[in-house]
Amino acid sequence: MKLSKSLLISLSLLVSMLYGCTYGFSGASIDYNTTKTVSIANFFNDAVDGGLPNMGQTFTEDLKDYFQRNTKLELIPSKGDLQFEGAISQYNIAPQAVVSSGNQNVADRSGLMRLTIGVEVAFTNVKKEEENFKRTFSFYADYDPQTTSLTTVEPELVSQIFKEIIFEIFQASVAQW
């Protein structure tokens, strides 16, 4: 009986300690006692080389969704305790691997193409100004132009790249480990 009481008390203390912690299982280290809100301004597509229609809106909504799923912060239109703003600054498609045809009369072709997207982000932490930053996050995805066209895979590639960039933004702003 004493062993089970000791175990119950130990478990209760452990649960109490974990509940009081500011670290969440999402990886965020947010002090919810002082930081309660987040605001995410609309990100616009300022990339010279274009991209999908509504790409800025898609990125903005994906970033909002990520914070709502992975934190207890209230999303507000502006002046949050944590604030994000920025723009898609790079959208670049470039060959990564050239495949030789082996024939002098036939031009070499690209065996692999890379889509790279860069997003400039200004992060403001009203409660801890030393954590503020302004930087560009970028990521890429490759596809084979011989087996598929860009228009076929572009939505999937953009979504994949956005997920990686948003994860990096989250890590840099609120996980910080």
Q: What is the CATH number of the domain that holds 28?
A: 3.30.160.150
Helix or strand or coil: residue 134? strand
161: nearest Cα among 124, 130, 115: 115
- Note the pLDDT tens digit of each residue in 117-155: 999 999 999 999 999 999 999 999 999 998 999 999 999
Tell me the residue type at 75.
L
Q: Is the pTM of this model over 0.75?
A: yes
**Band of residue 21 on the pLDDT scale cut at 50, 70, 90:** very low
Helix or strand or coil: residue 37? strand
What is the number of domains present in the chain? 1
Compute the 3-state secondary structure of the chain and give helix, strand, coil in percent, each to the nearest 5.
35, 30, 30
What's the whole-number mean pLDDT along residues 104-128? 84
User: What is the extent of the structural domain holding 9?
Assistant: 2-175
